[in-house]
Copies of this chain bind each other. A is one copy, B any other.
Amino acid sequence: MSLLVVGTVAFDAIETPFGKTDKIVGGAATYISLSASYHTKNIHLVSVVGGDFPKEKISSLNNRGISTKGLEIKENEKSFFWSGKYHNDMNTRDTIDTQLNVLLDFNPQVPEDQTSPDFLMLGNLDPDLQAKVLDQMKARPKLIAMDTMNFWMDLKLNKLKENIARIDVLTINDEEARQLSEEYSLVKAAKKILGWGPKYLIIKKGEHGALLFNKENKVFFAPALPLEEVFDPTGAGDSFAGGFMGYIAATNDVSFDNLKRSIIVGSAMASFTVEKFGTERLEEITSEDVQKRMQSFMDLVQVDINLIDA
């Protein structure tokens, strides 16, 4: 099945308590596609970069089966750049610099032969741009997932809510769920947000795992793997989304049971990303590593209780 991924392809400069990087390749769509590529092929990326973006990085995406036909290259402009510094708890960070560059007048163009993808993942991006992609769909994908962040809740809440009504799965973190819903309880937040249209809400809680809610008040919880060290959290949420949608595309199954499986896959992929800076881990792991990691996730919550005996 085909998966269309829309989002940023960019440069990041990251500082964590463990060290700092120069400009390295990042961006939501980069992490999403790389992560998805461990589970499905036929991935198509829509994004924009400047002439400064290394061609060999584009080739390495292609080598993982990711089509970059929809990756616009503006040779005379510079790529989107973000620089941030994580606090000691690794849960909070300060943005040091944001240079929109090519994003300033980005007008996403989905290649004609990709306007009817089986699955669509809208990475975090200006809600106006996410809407433009939705407008270009010639047929309704089997599942549309969308990520966003607090920044757009502050700036473009109405447009964001319009988009939320048009998609199937919204992925946000716990603080964003609270901000968006104006409810402190995540259960109440989920009810409210699901009332706006989407079939599913995924609340990402970082080191505390992720929750999946559906409209019938069913809830599933996927833990995060307790790690010795979280080296760099950048891209964890995008890797999660990529694993999630990659597995759904591979299995072509949008049942609640399969969404549960897909969340475990997403959690496993995110657990790799945070082990090194940037996309390094996502580019070096093997399918065997992924299988082993998923087994660790299953083992983590595996318990057998005979409730009658309790």
- Chain B hits for A195, CB < 8 A: none
- Given A247-B310, A300-B219, A227-B294 contact (CB < 8 Å): no
Binding site for B on A (CB under 8 A): 39, 88-89, 184-188, 205, 208-209, 211, 219-223, 226-230, 247, 251, 257, 260-261, 264-265, 290-291, 294-295, 298, 300-305, 307, 309-310
Structural contact, B226 and A219, CB atoms closer than 8 A: yes
Distance in Å: Cβ of A21 to nearest Cβ of chain B: 21
Structural contact, B188 and A228, CB atoms closer than 8 A: yes
Distance in Å: Cβ of A19 to nearest Cβ of chain B: 16
28 inter-chain pairs at a CB distance below 8 angstroms, sorted by A residue, are: A39-B310, A89-B184, A185-B229, A185-B230, A187-B228, A188-B228, A188-B229, A205-B208, A209-B223, A220-B302, A220-B303, A221-B223, A221-B226, A221-B300, A223-B301, A251-B309, A257-B303, A261-B303, A261-B304, A261-B305, A261-B310, A264-B303, A264-B305, A265-B310, A291-B310, A294-B307, A295-B307, A298-B307
Structural contact, B208 and A301, CB atoms closer than 8 A: no
Distance in Å: Cβ of A101 to nearest Cβ of chain B: 35
Could you tell me the distance between the alpha carbons of A11 and B307 in the complex, rounded to whole angstroms?
A: 34
Structural contact, B188 and A211, CB atoms closer than 8 A: no
Could you tell me the distance between the alpha carbons of A294 and B310 in the complex, rounded to whole angstroms?
A: 9
- Given A184-B88, A208-B205, A303-B261, A223-B223 contact (CB < 8 Å): yes
4 further A-B pairs in the complex, CB-CB below 8 A; given A187-B227, A205-B208: A221-B226, A257-B304, A261-B304, A298-B303
- Chain B hits for A227, CB < 8 A: 185, 187
Query: Which residue of chain B lies nearest to A296 when distances are taken between CB atoms in the complex?
Result: B219
Query: How many of these chains are in the complex?
Result: 2
Distance in Å: Cβ of A181 to nearest Cβ of chain B: 13
Could you tell me the distance between the alpha carbons of A290 and B310 in the complex, rounded to whole angstroms?
A: 9
Structural contact, A298 and B305, CB atoms closer than 8 A: yes
Structural contact, B305 and A294, CB atoms closer than 8 A: yes
- Chain B hits for A229, CB < 8 A: 185, 188
- Chain B hits for A303, CB < 8 A: 220, 222, 257, 260-261, 264, 298
- Chain B hits for A89, CB < 8 A: 184
Kindly name the residue among A208, A251, A301, A309 whose own CB sees the greatest number of chain B CB atoms within 10 A: A301
- Chain B hits for A220, CB < 8 A: 300-303
- Chain B hits for A309, CB < 8 A: 251
Structural contact, B226 and A187, CB atoms closer than 8 A: yes
Structural contact, B301 and A228, CB atoms closer than 8 A: no
